[in-house]
Structure 1
Amino acid sequence: MANSIRRYEGRHAVITGGASGIGFKTAERIVSEGGTVSLWDVDAAKIDEARDALGSSSTHGVTLDVSDPDQVEKAAKETAEKHGKIDILVCSAGITGPNAKVADYPIDQWKRVFDINIHGLFFCNRFVVPIMQKNGYGRIVNVASIAGKEGNPNASAYSASKAAVIGLTKSLGKEVVGDGITVNAITPATVDTPILQQLKPEFIDYMLSKIPMQRFGKVEELASLITWIASEECSFTTGAVFDISGGRATY
C-alpha cells in the first residue's frame, strides 16, 4: 500500500460502512496516502478483517448502527477524543431495500431504508460538524446515487432516500461555508460491490442497461474521486454533486 503521494499526512478520517465496499477502498487510499481512519460499521467481524488488511496502527474500529443517534454521538465523541480531531467524514453506509412497486412497498422496509440511508447519514453529519468547526477544517463526502436524481422504478425508498442525501448536502454545504469545511456528494451509477447481493438479477440487468458504458463502476474509481474531494486540493467546491455514472447522468 506504499504511495508516494502523502495528501493525508496528519489527517484523520471517519468512514461509515468502512469495513467493505466503497468505504473500505476509500480507507485503503487514505491510509496509503499517510492518513489514519476510523471505520464505523455495523459488522464487528468485518471491521477486524479490515483493520488487519489496513494495518491496526493506522485504523480504529467502531461497531455501531448509524440509525441510532445515541450511538453516533458517542462514536463521534470517542473518535475525536482518541485522535484529537476528525478532519474527514465519508458517509458510505447504506442499504438498497427491497425491489417493489410503491403500492406494494413494505412500510417497515421503507422506514428502515430511510433510517440508514438518510437519517443515519444526517446523524453522522450532525455530530461530526461541530468537531470540525472547533478545529476550523473539514471535508465531508456523502455517498448518494444517480437514483437520487433520476429515480429507479421498483426502488422508490432507495431513490427517495438518496435524493434526500443530495438535498441535505447542498443545505449543509452552504451553512458551513465560512468554517473551513466543504460538504459534497457523489452520485454513482451501480457499482460492483456486495450491495448487489441485495438485488434481484432482473433488477441488476435493468441497472446495467441504463449505463452507456455497459459496465458497472469499480470501487477503485469511486475511491479515487472521493479521496480527491476529501483532500485539501478540493477547497473551492462545496454543496456540489459529482457524477460518476458511466455516462448515465443527464444533469
Structure 2
Amino acid sequence: MRVALVTGAAGGLGRAVARRLAADGALVAVSDRSPGPELDLLAEEIGGFAVPADVADPEAVRRMAAAVEERAGGRVVFVASEWGVIGWPGASAYAASKAGLISLAKTLGRELAPEGIAVNAIAPSVVDTPQLEVDARAAGVSPEEIRRRYAERVPLGRIATPEEIAAAVAHLADPRMSSLVGQVIHVNGGTTRARA
C-alpha cells in the first residue's frame, strides 16, 4: 500500500490533498503544526493517521518522518507558488520561500532519483482557499470581489479550486509517473508559461 504524508493538512489545500490521495488508495499521514481535533477528525475521515509536527523543528520532523517511514516512502511533492516563479510586489519573502521550494525540488529530484525517490513540485496561482478572505480584508473589499479581481487576471477566467491542486499533487504522487523527477507543474489557468 502507498503511504502519503501531507503537511499543512488541517485546512486549505492540505485537507483537499489528503482527501484526494486517500480517495486514490493511499494510506495518508496527515500533519500540521500541532495536534488538534481538526487533524484527528481528518485522519479518521480518510482512514489515515495523524503525525503532528512543526516543520520548523528539525527533531519534530525526524519523528514525523520516522513514523511515516515505518509504513513506506518514494514520492515527494512540494506545493510552491506561481509567485516563486514570477515574483510578486509586496510579497518578497513569500515569493523567495516558494522559489526556494522549487529549487529544492529540482535539486532533491536529482539527488534522490537514484534511490527511487521522485521529488517534484507544483506552482499554483490563486486558489479559492480561506486566504482569499485575508486578501479581501487587506484590499477592503468583499471575498466575492477579490475572487472577481483575481479571476480577471487568469486567461481561463476563474481561479483554481483546492480539488484541482489536489489532483495535480495526486498526479505527481502516482507511482506510475515515475519518470517525472525534479519537475514543476504550473497549475494556474494560463497565467504563466511552463518555465522556471
Counterpart of 2:119 in 1: which secondary structure?
A: strand
Q: Aligned equivalents of 2:134 and 2:7: distance in 1? A: 19
Shift of 1:70: 1.1
Task: State the TM-score, normalizing by the size of structure 1.
Answer: 0.69
Q: Per-residue CA shift, 1:145-180, capped at 9, x if unaligned? A: 000011111111111110111111111111112111
1:78 aligns to 2:67 (yes or no): yes
Q: Aligned equivalents of 1:140 and 1:12: distance in 2? A: 11
Count of aligned pairs: 186
1:201 aligns to 2:139 (yes or no): yes
Task: State the TM-score, normalizing by the size of structure 2.
Answer: 0.87
Give yes or no for contact 1:38–1:60 (8 Å, CA) kept in 2.
yes
1:235 aligns to 2:178 (yes or no): yes
Shift of 1:140: 0.8
Q: Aligned equivalents of 1:177 and 1:51: distance in 2? A: 30
Q: Which amino acid aligns with 2:41?
A: E
Counterpart of 1:41 (choices 32, 35, 49) is 32
Counterpart in the other structure of 1:185: 121
Which stretch shows the higher mean deviation, 143-152 or 38-47?
A: 38-47
Give yes or no for contact 2:51–2:67 (8 Å, CA) kept in 1.
no
Give yes or no for contact 1:20–1:50 (8 Å, CA) kept in 2.
no
Relative to structure 1, is the Cα distance of residues 151 and 233 closer, same or farther in structure 2, using a 3 angstrom cutoff?
same
Q: Aligned equivalents of 1:14 and 1:201: distance in 2? A: 35
- What is the aligned-residue RMSD (CA, Å)? 1.9
Give yes or no for contact 1:11–1:36 (8 Å, CA) kept in 2.
yes
Q: Aligned equivalents of 1:32 and 1:177: distance in 2? A: 26
Shift of 1:248: 0.3
Q: Aligned equivalents of 1:147 and 1:194: distance in 2? A: 18
Counterpart of 2:51 in 1: which secondary structure?
A: strand
Give yes or no for contact 1:19–1:41 (8 Å, CA) kept in 2.
yes
Give structure 2 stretches of 5+ with no counterpart.
none
1:153 aligns to 2:89 (yes or no): yes
Q: Aligned equivalents of 2:52 and 2:180: distance in 1? A: 32
Give yes or no for contact 2:29–2:43 (8 Å, CA) kept in 1.
no
Amino-acid identity (%):
37
Shift of 1:181: 1.3
